[in-house]
Copies of this chain bind each other. A is one copy, B any other.
Amino acid sequence: MHIPNRLLMGPGPSNVSHSVLDALSQPTIGHLDPAFQTLMEEVKDLMRAAFQTRNEMTFPISAPASLAMEAALVNLLEPGDKAIIAQNGVFGGRMAEIARRAGANVVLLSFDWGKPVCPDTVAETVEMHPDAKLLAFVHAETSTGVRSDAARLCRIAHKAGILSVVDTVTGLGGIPVAVDEWQADVVYSGTQKCLSVPPGLAPITFSARAIATIKARSTPVQSWFCDLNLVLGYWSGTGGRSYHHTAPVNAIYGLHKGLSELADEGLEASWTRHQAMHDRLAAGLADLGLEFLVDEPHRLPQLNTVVVPQGFDEAYVRQQLLQKHDIEIGAGLGDLAGKVWRIGLMGHTARPENVERLLTMLGHVLAEARQQAVA
């Protein structure tokens, strides 16, 4: 098994610190061991701090973030329920697909890829559908690098008395996520973005309103694995833990360490660092004559979508960076395939030396590619 040392500047995973990698390789213990239960409680506390919430039901789903998306929707939705879903990239579309498979009646609001979700349009739609059960949207669209106004969107939902589901897979740790202040109902993230923990777990938090809605269901949750009523028998601290599934013990060691490092740095310091690295990258990209897909006010600092200049083979540039320079950047996804590169500055990756290295090497590769195009 030969694992190369890559600089991970794609849309995730991001680079993982040595201390998190070391944590992963601590000896495995039982998922019901008192020592592991202590660790679970610490992880829940650390996660609450990262999400800025006091929600009791805050824990990691034992699977990648896509399953957290599914868990959020299939727990809240029953067949025939109406769900308003905003789409401005791949992941909003995935939400709609999952909601439909749960038997929901989906009202899909589509926005241009590269633009944020428009709060006015959402407000109008919410008003037109007083029978809707929830509003779901993506706070930080990994496919486009756009930030939507989660505070305002949640406020619209809350005022209308419907639940809000917020995907902040790429947001958490990189930009402010304020679950309680937003009065958001279900918010989930991933480990492999700004938390810089290997992929495989998904932090999620449920408000008391969300829990009450799930408890009041008239049909069982279609997924046994995702059924919050069952999962909480294991993750809830009250009254002893009951076995549901075997938690991914070593992965949780890594998450504990990653969240501890975020707490040590401080949320604000982490946000500031991500923004500073973005500014540095943006200046360097401008020097190279490259343009962003997204207008400045809506850019995610941690996920930069750069328009592939005319005449360049986008895949060739990525391959050269990876094969010659051990730097991974991401391709466009869905409608943006072939049109953009996605440059991640997430978590541990978001450091000056990494930004400089990318800019230098990208400059070399583009110059080479340009010469070839001319020749």
Nearest Cβ in chain B — how far from A297, in angstroms?
A: 28
With A246-B192, A253-B3 in contact, do A27 and B16 touch (Cβ < 8 Å)? yes
Question: How far is it, in angstroms, between the C-alpha of A2 and the C-alpha of B321 when the chains are bound?
Answer: 40
State whether A12 touches B94 (Cβ < 8 A).
Answer: no
Q: Which of A61-91 contact B (CB under 8 A)?
A: 62-67, 70
Residues of B within 8 A of A25 (CB): 21-22, 24-25
Task: Determine if B1 and A65 form an interchain contact, defined as CB atoms under 8 angstroms apart.
Answer: no
A35 contacts B3, C-beta separation under 8 Å: yes
Give bound CA distance, A246 to B254, whole Å: 17
Interface size (A, Cβ < 8 Å)? 68
CB of A338, distance to nearest CB on chain B (Å): 14
CB distance from A319 to the nearest CB of B (A): 9
- Considering only residues 166-210 of chain A, those with a C-beta below 8 Å from chain B are 190, 192, 198-200
Residues of B within 8 A of A31 (CB): 13, 199
Contact A251 B27 (CB under 8 A): no
Contact A253:B1 (CB < 8 A) given known A63-B225, A200-B200, A222-B222: yes
- Interchain CB contact under 8 A, A220 and B8: no
6 A-B contact pairs sorted by A residue (CB < 8 Å): A16-B27, A16-B28, A198-B250, A199-B246, A200-B250, A250-B251
